[in-house]
Amino acid sequence: MASIPHDEILATSAALPAAESGAARPDSPPKLKGRRRLLNRLQRMTSSPSLEQTGRSRSSSTGVRRLGKGSMSCISLSSTLSHGQCWESSSSSQFYGKFSGKPHGDDTGPIRVVETELISANGSQQTTIPLPAEMRPCSRGSLLRSAVAVLEDGENTPDTKGEKLLKMQNKNYWDYLPVEIQLRILSWLMPKELGKVACVSRSWRQLCFDGQLWAKFDTSTYYSDIPRDALVRLIFSAGPFIKHLNLRGCIQMAEAWFQCGEQIADACRNLVSVNLEGTHIDKPTITYFLVRNPKLVRISMTGLATVTNSEMNVISKSCPLLEYLDISWCRNLINANGLRRVVRACHRLKELRIDEFRAVDDEEFMLELFQTNTLETLVMSHCSSLTDSALKALLHGKNPEIDILTGRPIAPPRKLKHLNLSHCQGVSDFGIGHLAGFVPELESLQLSFCPALGNDSIINLIGTTPNLTRLDLEELEELTNNVLLALSKAPCAARLEHLNISYCEKLGDTGMMQIVKNCPNLKSLDLDNTRVSDLTLIELCSQMRKRGFGMQPPRCGLRVAVFDCGNVTWAGIREILSNNTFVPRYAEAAVLASRAEEEESGSGSSSPSSSTTSVTILPSPPPETTQCKADLYPNEIIQLKCFYGWQTTVDIHTKRVLNGNLGAAMRLERRWTDCMMTNEEAEAGGIGARRRRRRARNAEMMYNLDDDDDADYGYGPGGLVSLGNRRRRARSGGCVVM
């Protein structure tokens, strides 16, 4: 590069003081021109890494940077020249001025100034640091090392979206789930479904037959489909995890009990409940089950011929936590010695079922039940040996004290909630009379097929049971309407839900209508072979309408059985069908009126009011809007069981109502009514019999053609307007005169 003349340097040094005293700002560097701008660009292009690559040495003139007055970068343009050879005159003092840190008398060779940074007015030091060497580019067109590494890694990843989607689709997410979550998902499958999905793979087979999924081993839904060997293997694999074992009806296990009964019982050691009804299990296996499961709470051995007093002794010694015991129909239980030990040892026993037990007349056994007083459910149906004295021992104990004022024995009340004495023909009014006042928590009472019972004992009993919800009095021929009248006035009338008075031939509308009026929560009525008539059915319809209407399809709220009732005619059945499709006409008008009142009240409250002027605003008529007719349905309907000739029509009608197709149900009701009326007219003789028979045939034909249950017919009260606008028979106009 050519050297700069000496006069230019002097001119520049003379101009510097003027610039500093003039318009130079301390907060911004002066604008460079000419050669100084070229030198400034040269300084930016040169840096430490580039100098190291070219082999040039750094400038040794760092005095200004050491003094903190500014930054200066000097380079030698030729490697053979030294500092002193760059300039001939030593006029550095004139050039640096106050930036120079050396005295004026020092002789230094002329150097070339590339850049000078002005110090700010407050004299602050440098506040920035340069980038690290590894982050600086070697040249203007080169890339950083980090960018090069990213590009090298990016070449190995798939660039197309299709490959990414394919990888995501082929990814097996099931294997990444924890085993606990996999078992939780499989726990929602039914046992049959678990057997089907076990064929997917070995891992799935292990999961499906994991014992945690078989804690409740209930074969009631597939006991006839599973073979013996598969059932035994399943019990062995899940045995330690099984808590509830139900093998009811598994007759295929008869041989397995003899072959490996002890091993099966040894595998199931954590049972809480077991049901062995109908399994033909042998005595040793029963003993193994009872001895090796001391935590048993529920035991059901209904109908097992192998159950004897020895098994009762094992239960009394091995199952202290027992709460439920069912030994009904065990014909080899001859006496009550073993059962008495069970009652004495198992203090938590709450439910005892001993249907057709021969030794219920044992007063010592009844006294044991009286002393424990823990039973809530006692089922003794078909116990022909039950007597009034045994019931007295159960309720009053032995030789109780007698209250002088009331003449009744003093004994603690029983905790019984469910009592079943059906088919106990040895029980009379005297024995049932002992129940009055001693079973205040009774909820269910079944006294059907006890021919010796009359009105007095039942009337006295129902007056002391305010929680009674179920009463079964089937085939008590001595009952009269006085029982029903007393029941309608009893404290339990509001809670009564199930009433069975079938084959009580002396009961009729007199007592039944009062029951219907005063028992609003009835859900089941069995009136087979009684004297009730259409009046009772009409009253039922009236009470069902009080249960309200809604927007949801109806449900069955009351089941009524009037089979073999001679006083019930097709007219009463028609009342039931009509009530099931009844929708009040005023309901929609009331809804629309309430909406209109709300809109008027809202508009009146939001109208502006002025305190200075009073302006009378006439109310504008409401705009005519087309309201969509809301579909209303009865909340509950009556499910009817009647004469078999009418039952098919009733079932189809009920099905359509439950599906919400009220239009089709109404049409079926009208056509069935026309058919029944024309048939009755056709049976009458006299003039016009042929015409009446023809009308009956036509009505029956129209009734038989109505078989489209799923057709979309009109909705509305009476079903008179159809949405489909079906074509009707053309009718000619009558004579004007006639």
User: What are 633-680's pLDDT values in tens digits?
Assistant: 999 999 999 999 899 999 999 999 999 999 999 999 988 988 888 877
| Cross-strand partners of 558 | 638
Categorize the per-residue pLDDT at 705 as very low, low, confident or very high, splitting at 50, 70 and 90.
Answer: low
57: left (phi over 0), alpha (psi -120 to 50) or beta: beta
- Dihedral sign of CA atoms 707, 712, 716, 722 in order: negative
Tell me the CA distances in angstroms from 546 to 540, 541, 559, 721, one per residue in order. Answer: 10, 9, 16, 26
Q: 29, 117 in Cβ contact below 8 A?
A: yes
pLDDT of 136 reads 62
| Cross-strand partners of 216 | 244
Q: What does 61-113 look like in DSSP terms, one character per residue?
A: --HHHHHTS-------SSTT--STTT-SS--HHHHHGGG--S-TT--------
Q: What is the pLDDT of residues 343-359, one digit of tens each?
A: 999 999 999 999 999 99
pLDDT greater than 90 at residue 536: yes
DSSP letter for 28, please. Answer: S
State how far the Cα of 255 lies from the Cα of 260, in Å rounded to an integer: 9
Q: Which of 327, 57, 65 is CA-nearest to residue 340? A: 327
Q: What is the pLDDT of residues 590-631, one digit of tens each?
A: 554 455 555 555 554 444 444 444 444 545 555 544 445 557
Q: What is the pLDDT of residues 123-143, one digit of tens each?
A: 445 566 666 665 665 555 555
DSSP letter for 724, please. Answer: T
pLDDT of 28 reads 57
State how far the Cα of 675 lies from the Cα of 695, in Å rounded to an integer: 9
Q: 453, 412 in Cβ contact below 8 A?
A: no
Q: How far apart are the first and last CA of the chain?
A: 137
DSSP letter for 531, please. Answer: B
pLDDT greater than 60 at residue 451: yes
State how far the Cα of 669 lies from the Cα of 671, in Å rounded to an integer: 6
Q: Which of 493, 355, 478, 469 is CA-nearest to residue 458? A: 478
Q: Which of 191, 256, 238 is CA-nearest to residue 219? A: 191
pLDDT greater than 80 at residue 119: no
Categorize the per-residue pLDDT at 171 as very low, low, confident or very high, splitting at 50, 70 and 90.
Answer: confident
DSSP letter for 735, please. Answer: P
What b-and-e string marks burial along 217-236, b requiring 16 or more CB atoms within 10 Å of the CB?
A: bebeeebeebeeeebbebbe
Number of helices (H) and strands (E), helices first, in the chain?
27, 18
State how far the Cα of 514 lies from the Cα of 499, in Å rounded to an integer: 13
Q: Highest mean pLDDT range out of 10-14, 67-71, 147-151, 162-166?
A: 162-166
Alpha-carbon 275 to chain mean position: 29
pLDDT greater than 80 at residue 152: no
Question: What's the chain's Rg over C-alpha atoms?
Answer: 52
Q: 222, 201 in Cβ contact below 8 A?
A: no
pLDDT of 693 reads 72
Q: What percent of the chain has pLDDT over 90?
A: 54
Categorize the per-residue pLDDT at 90 as very low, low, confident or very high, splitting at 50, 70 and 90.
Answer: very low
User: Is this model's pTM higher than 0.75 or not?
Assistant: no
State how far the Cα of 308 lies from the Cα of 279, in Å rounded to an integer: 16
pLDDT of 734 reads 43
State how far the Cα of 287 lies from the Cα of 293, in Å rounded to an integer: 10
- Those residues with Cβ within 8 angstroms of residue 51's Cβ, 6 or more apart along the chain or in another chain: 57, 58, 75
Q: 546, 604 in Cβ contact below 8 A?
A: no
**Strand 401-402 and strand 409-410: pairing?**
antiparallel
- Can you tell me which residue has the tokens 């014909």? 331
pLDDT of 498 reads 98
pLDDT of 458 reads 96
Q: 250, 274 in Cβ contact below 8 A?
A: no
Q: Which of 515, 511, 535 is CA-nearest to residue 525? A: 515
pLDDT greater than 50 at residue 81: no
Categorize the per-residue pLDDT at 329 as very low, low, confident or very high, splitting at 50, 70 and 90.
Answer: very high
pLDDT greater than 60 at residue 153: no
Q: Taking the CB of residue 274, how many other CB atoms lie within 10 A of it? A: 23
